[in-house]
Structures are given as C-alpha cells and as structure tokens.
Amino acid sequence: MAQLPDATRIGAVHLNVRDIERALLFYCDTLGLRERRRDATSAELGSDSTFLHLHATPDARPRAPNESGLYHVAYLLPSRADLGRVIRHLAAARYPLQGASDHAVSEALYLADPEGNGIEIYADRPRDAWPRAGERIQMATDVMDVESVLAAGGEARWVGAPDGMRVGHVHLNVNDVPAAEAFYRERVGFDLVTRYGARASFLSAGGYHHHVAVNAWGTHGGPAARPATLGLRRFNVVVPREGYEDALERLGGEEAADPAGNRFRITLPEATS
C-alpha cells in the first residue's frame, strides 16, 4: 500500500465563521495567535507561520448535530511549559474549558471557540516515551496532572503563540468510520495507528500518534458534510516533494473530500494557503 513520506504533516486549517470580528477577538486577543494577513472577508493567523485561515461567511448554514464535519483542530505546542502557561492564562481569563486529559503520548487541554468549533491545545511527550503494544502506539484518556503541567510553565506568562506552534492533527466527525479509514489509508496514504472499537480510528505518517482521527460519535449514519457550512472549510495535508505527485495521482488532484464530505488539499511544504 502506498505510504506518505515520514515528514508529512497537517498544515493550515480553514474555517467558515459567521462573525469574523468575534472570532478574531478570541483567536488573537484571548488565545494569542498572531494576525499575519487580513482583508475584508478573511484573516490568516498563526505564530511564526500561518496555520489558521478564517473566512467570513455570515450567511452560511450551521452544521447539524448529526452531520459530518470538524470534531476539533489540535494545536501542537513546542513544550510542556508552553502548555502550562496557556492553561494558567485561559483560567485567569475565565475562558470556559471543557477538559484536560493525559493521553500517554501527549497532554491536552480542550475548549471551543465562540462559534463552537472544537479546539485541542496539546504538548507531546518524547516519542521514546510513548507506550506501545507490539507495533501499535497505545493512547489513553486519563485525567491530566494539571498541577504538574502548571509547574512546568514556571512563573513565565503566556505572551501569545510561541514560535513553532502549529496544527498537530485534525479530528473529524464522519458517518462511516470503516469507509473513512479505508479512504485515508488507501487513497491518501496514511498508516493506521489504532482503533477505538468500530467508531474511531487514528491515522498518521512517519510513526506519529495521529495526524488525522475520524470518529462517528453522534454522527454514524448521518448526513455528509456540505459546502458553505459553518465550521470546517478544509484542511491542508503537507506532503514533501518526493511524495507529492504520487499523492495527487492517488486522489486525482490536489483537493478532495473524504467519504463523509470533509474537504482537504494536498500542498507542498512551501505553500501557506
């Protein structure tokens, strides 16, 4: 089976938002992303690189609860200390948090933006510390030791997105997990990392714990994602040049949708859009 190069990663995520000014207040003023470009209908945000595009779509329809789409965007921080600082910052700002988990391979904070788009902010543990059973990476969902993570942040304040912060993975709602898993393995070229029963699969390139996750928690058998819906517009899969043409050939072009209608684009590392 064709595989993506080890250096494949997730690039920028594009979101349709109803109120771009409100979204910018959250992403820039509360979360601390940097505004890298702005025009009347869109904005590009990130750290030392662009990894989030907001598109003003005030007339877009809301996503139905049982419809495929975005479960969350996961923003990867360079260090555990950064995670401790952002937790302290958001708690001091009294921003509503939804959970904090220890996944054995990473530690993660969960929240949502003002339009309900799910967010994970996480820091990875060193790869040689990831638990394994044979060739499979073993992830967990345990309670985070928040005090330990806060202590790792020390006394330094969160002053916004640190250099190196980026999208680490995307987690998608789909209506048929086996079909989505087969698509991301056979057509895109990701490897299967693990399954959680029949309703969630985790896939990656290069031995990462996951670049794409798909689940059918509440969306099994529901309608596929539709264009011009609030939430996920598309995400980018960044493929090194040595695997780029093969990926395009498998997909029949640079932009595609999975069987649940979630759209993505294959891009080269130098692309930002």
Q: Nearest 5 degrees, angle CA 58-CA 61-CA 63?
A: 125
Confidence bin at 34 (pLDDT 50/70/90): very high
Measure the CA–CA gap between 187 and 45, rounded to whole angstroms: 30
Q: What is the CA radius of gyration of the chain?
A: 18
Measure the CA–CA gap between 69 and 55, rounded to whole angstroms: 16
Task: Give the range among 52-61, 114-123, 132-141 with minimum mean pLDDT.
Answer: 132-141
Measure the CA–CA gap between 139 and 14, rounded to whole angstroms: 27
Tell me what pLDDT residue 2 has.
64
User: Quick check: 43 and 146 in contact, CB under 8 A?
Assistant: no
Q: Is the dihedral of CA 29, 99, 214, 127 positive or negative?
A: positive
Structural domains in the chain, CATH included, are 63-267 (3.10.180.10)
- Among 251, 175, 171, 177, which residue's Cα sits nearest to residue 10? 171
How many CB atoms neighbour CB 60 within 10 A? 18
Encoding tokens for residue 60? Answer: 């877009």
Mean pLDDT of the chain: 96
Measure the CA–CA gap between 200 and 198, rounded to whole angstroms: 6
What share of the chain in percent tops pLDDT 70?
A: 99
pTM for the structure as a whole: 0.97
Q: Would you say residue 1 has pLDDT above 70?
A: no
- Residue range 237-252, pLDDT digits in tens: 999 999 999 999 999 9
Q: Would you say residue 80 has pLDDT above 80?
A: yes
- 197 vs 251, residue with greater confidence: 251
